[in-house]
């Protein structure tokens, strides 16, 4: 069966079973699948693409190493295990007890396996879609994403209720998805 | 493409991305995301959209009405802003230099009591070519007595000398009340 058809858990079990013989095909596939999830977690909690990239390497290279060494007790719950590693590592980064040098020392600067490139939108098309929004919608979207203001802050800035901002924001992002050809 | 039997609502994804969810709501959502390629893909799109909006503002590919805090954020991000305060009836000579990231007009107006403000824009490029458009319901700060606009700097850089006029209107139940008219004589930087 092609690896693409296997569940994450089955890939984790194959990696654990191979141990130091290293099933690089299974490792590469698991890395490819989990990298976007870890990167998004990093972006959400660290708000820094470089830090998110480091998090992907730290968490996934450590996970693969522990799978090979039989140190992951429940390989069938690999996604949950990786999430736990993300949470722990982000806490360490925030406390200042994690250093990038550790990553270099442990893994010798290896980049790990190939990860899919982050989704990139056509900037020109997005600008046109933003221009097509109503002014209020554009204000809410730009305050949310550029100024990184939560709904209640946007509400205060625009003299609206937080509930109203959530409605406008949802509608505006829905329109952007449609305009960008993303809506299903 | 992967599917999901119970996809996370778009509103919840947005709230998660903006850090609005409490820990008790965030934890199960993250558990789902780590187990679901479909919802991860939808969050990736949202993250890319957020990044695209930031880039559009930084690169000046969109025109915006601004709040004071938004303008402060632009400056904190290191953007170099050329600002032009303007009183009603005033004509301002303005430009956008190569070293500027954006130009902001600060339109002073008697905004006390206004609940909605619209802006009528016109750009006269000469030779009878006049473009007109209306921005409905722009954000404004009644205390500061100002409405802030930034035109799309990327487009402005390509434009020849022109005259831009903005008229602010208070929109009320009884109709529209003019708040001020402002003229910007733009020369390329």
For the stretch A106-144, pLDDT in tens is 766 566 788 888 888 999 999 999 999 999 999 999 999
Q: Which 46-75 residues of chain B touch chain A by CB within 8 A? A: 46-57, 59, 61-65, 67, 69-70, 73-74
Cβ neighbors of A171 (< 8 A, separation 6 or more) are A137
Q: Provide the number of structural domains found in chain B.
A: 2
In this prediction, residue B1 carries a pLDDT of: 54
Are B75 and B121 part of one and the same domain?
yes
- Which of B19, B62, B74 should one mutate to test binding to chain A, selecting the residue with the greatest count of A CBs within 10 A? B62
Count how many pairs of residues, chain A against chain B, have C-beta atoms within 8 Å. 138
Over 80: is that where the pLDDT of B85 sits?
A: yes
Find the CB nearest A145 among B33, B37, B50. B50
In this prediction, residue A111 carries a pLDDT of: 61
Are B85 and B146 part of one and the same domain?
yes
Are B53 and B112 part of one and the same domain?
no
The answer as to whether B46 is a domain residue is: yes
Are B76 and B139 part of one and the same domain?
yes
Side-chain half-sphere exposure of B38, counting CA atoms within 13 A? 12
**pLDDT grade, residue A159 (50/70/90)?**
confident
**pLDDT grade, residue A5 (50/70/90)?**
confident
> What average pLDDT score do residues B139-168 get?
93
Radius of gyration of the CA atoms of chain B, in A = 21
**pLDDT grade, residue B157 (50/70/90)?**
very high
| Cβ pair B51, B34 in contact under 8 A | no
Are B29 and B122 part of one and the same domain?
no
* Contact check, Cβ <8 Å, A83/B31: yes
Of A61-75, A86-100, B63-77, least confident by mean pLDDT is A86-100
CATH of region A123-179, choose from 3.40.50.1010, 3.30.420.40, 1.10.10.10, 1.10.1200.10 = 1.10.10.10
Domain boundaries, chain A: 3-107, 123-179
Q: Which 135-154 residues of chain B touch chain A by CB within 8 A? A: 135-139, 152
CA nearest B40 in A: which residue?
A: A37
Over 80: is that where the pLDDT of B188 sits?
A: yes
Cβ neighbors of A85 (< 8 A, separation 6 or more) are A59, A62, A63
In this prediction, residue A97 carries a pLDDT of: 75
- Which of A30, A76, A138, A146 should one mutate to test binding to chain B, selecting the residue with the greatest count of B CBs within 10 A? A146
Find the CB nearest A80 among B11, B31, B37. B31
The answer as to whether B4 is a domain residue is: no
> What average pLDDT score do residues B5-32 get?
95
Are B138 and B174 part of one and the same domain?
yes
**pLDDT grade, residue A55 (50/70/90)?**
very high
Q: How many Cβ atoms from other residues are within 10 Å of residue B189's Cβ?
A: 14
Q: How far is CA A177 from the centre of its chain?
A: 19
Q: What CA–CA distance (Å, rounded) separates A39 from A49?
A: 8
The answer as to whether B2 is a domain residue is: no
- Which of B93, B64, B97 lies closest to B80 in space, CA to CA? B97
Evaluated on CA atoms A50, A51, A56, A57, the torsion sign reads positive
Write out pLDDT tens, residues B95-153: 999 999 999 999 999 999 899 999 999 999 888 889 999 999 999 888 889 999 999 99
The answer as to whether B174 is a domain residue is: yes
**pLDDT grade, residue B3 (50/70/90)?**
confident
Find the CB nearest A126 among B14, B19, B52. B52
Domain housing B146: 63-186
d(CA B91, nearest CA chain A) in Å: 25
Is the CB of residue A117 less than 8 Å away from at least one CB of chain B? no
Are B31 and B113 part of one and the same domain?
no
* Contact check, Cβ <8 Å, B61/A124: yes
């Amino acid at each position: 069966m092609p690896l693409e058809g296997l569940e994450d858990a089955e890939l984790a079990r194959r990696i654990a079973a191979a141990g130091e013989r290293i099933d690089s095909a299974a490792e590469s596939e698991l890395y490819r699948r989990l990298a976007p999830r870890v990167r998004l977690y990093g972006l959400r909690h660290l708000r820094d693409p470089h830090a998110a990239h480091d998090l992907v390497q730290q968490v996934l290279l450590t996970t693969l190493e522990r799978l090979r060494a039989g140190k992951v007790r429940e390989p069938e719950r690999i996604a949950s295990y990786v999430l736990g590693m993300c949470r722990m590592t982000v806490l360490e980064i925030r406390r200042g007890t994690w250093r990038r040098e550790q990553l270099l020392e442990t893994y010798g600067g290896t980049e790990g396996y190939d990860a899919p490139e982050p989704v990139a939108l056509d900037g020109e098309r997005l600008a046109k879609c933003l221009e097509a929004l109503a002014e209020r919608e554009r204000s809410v979207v730009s305050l949310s994403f550029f100024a990184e203001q939560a709904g209640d802050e946007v509400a205060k800035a625009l003299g609206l209720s937080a509930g109203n901002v959530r409605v406008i924001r949802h509608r505006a992002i829905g329109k952007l998805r449609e305009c960008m050809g993303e809506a299903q | 493409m992967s599917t999901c039997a119970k996809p996370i609502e778009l509103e919840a994804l947005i709230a998660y991305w903006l850090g609005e969810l409490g820990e008790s709501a965030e934890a199960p959502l993250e558990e789902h995301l780590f187990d679901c390629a479909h919802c991860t893909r939808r969050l990736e799109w949202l993250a890319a959209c957020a990044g695209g909006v930031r880039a559009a503002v930084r690169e000046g590919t969109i025109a915006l009405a601004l709040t004071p805090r938004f303008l402060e954020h632009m400056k904190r991000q290191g953007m170099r802003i050329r600002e032009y305060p303007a009183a009603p009836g005033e004509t301002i000579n303005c430009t956008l230099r190569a070293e500027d990231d954006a130009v902001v007009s600060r339109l002073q107006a008697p905004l006390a009591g206004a609940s909605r403000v619209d802006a009528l824009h016109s750009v006269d490029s000469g030779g009878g070519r006049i473009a007109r458009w209306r921005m409905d319901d722009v954000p404004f700060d009644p205390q500061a007595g100002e409405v802030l606009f930034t035109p799309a700097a990327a487009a402005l850089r390509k434009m020849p000398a022109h005259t831009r006029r903005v008229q602010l209107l208070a929109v009320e139940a009884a109709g529209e009340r003019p708040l001020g008219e402002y003229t910007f004589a733009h020369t390329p930087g």
